[in-house]
Chain A
């Protein structure tokens, strides 16, 4: 199975500032999807953004954007103009294009983001 690594267990950012969360993954596949999910204290998993591996253009969703480096197998999340509501656990996830995988998600261990006023 593919391995997803989030090397930052905790990060802190001041309100209105920008923060980048790191994610690397290990795969021999050329086609796959990458996702960032947010898990607030309610523990509901919420999709933040997703990236198709065959697209070179980095995905953006309002204040959230990714830096996808396919050769380096890196998929970082940038949060601009951080808000108190952004405080949560953030999970990076990989989804294989291989049908035998059932298209299940492989998750990293998460990064806890603290937003300070």
Chain B
């Protein structure tokens, strides 16, 4: 089936530890996005990538890093510099880079700090 997968569903991070969230899509989409969702807030953009080997910072990129080595994969690393990482993380993709394209979302990863 075509879609976006995120793993793991739940992730626990210890203080000072880097963790990586996986996002994979088999939709042949060019653009991919990472959003963070906190309780009582809408989604906020962390990073986005419009093409392989290129990505741009979003509104809240501090403490996060990404890579886009393959079209279908856009992993997000939450570094120890992110002081408040507990949140729900959503990955999205769209077929092209036109503003007319709809973004489709994965099921999300819940990150908790121990």
Minimum C-beta distance from A29 to chain B (A): 10
**Total contacts A-B at CB 8 Å:** 65
Asked whether A45 lies within 8 Å of B105 as measured between CB atoms, the reply is yes
Asked whether A104 lies within 8 Å of B45 as measured between CB atoms, the reply is yes
Asked whether A91 lies within 8 Å of B100 as measured between CB atoms, the reply is no
B63 at the interface (CB under 8 A from A): no
Asked whether B102 lies within 8 Å of A96 as measured between CB atoms, the reply is no
Asked whether B99 lies within 8 Å of A43 as measured between CB atoms, the reply is no
Asked whether A32 lies within 8 Å of B99 as measured between CB atoms, the reply is yes
B8 at the interface (CB under 8 A from A): no
Segment from B11-19, B21-29, B35-43, B72-80 that makes contact with A: B35-43
Asked whether A33 lies within 8 Å of B43 as measured between CB atoms, the reply is no
A1 / chain B contacts, CB cutoff of 8 Å: 59
Asked whether A96 lies within 8 Å of B42 as measured between CB atoms, the reply is no
Interface positions, chain A 1-51, Cβ under 8 Å from B, are 1, 4, 31-33, 35, 37, 42-47, 50
Minimum C-beta distance from A97 to chain B (A): 4
Minimum C-beta distance from A51 to chain B (A): 11
Asked whether B42 lies within 8 Å of A108 as measured between CB atoms, the reply is yes
Minimum C-beta distance from A20 to chain B (A): 19
- B-facing mask of A93-117, CB < 8 A → 1, else 0? 1011111001111011110000000
B31 / chain A contacts, CB cutoff of 8 Å: 102-103
Asked whether A107 lies within 8 Å of B43 as measured between CB atoms, the reply is yes
B105 / chain A contacts, CB cutoff of 8 Å: 37, 44-46
What are 14 A-B interface contacts by the 8 Å CB criterion?
A44-B108, A45-B92, A47-B102, A50-B102, A93-B42, A98-B99, A99-B99, A102-B33, A103-B50, A103-B94, A105-B43, A107-B43, A108-B42, A109-B40
A-B pairs with lowest CB-CB distance, top 7: A107-B42, A45-B105, A97-B99, A102-B48, A107-B43, A104-B45, A103-B99
Show the binding face of A for B, using Cβ within 8 Å. Answer: 1, 4, 31-33, 35, 37, 42-47, 50, 52, 91, 93, 95-99, 102-105, 107-110
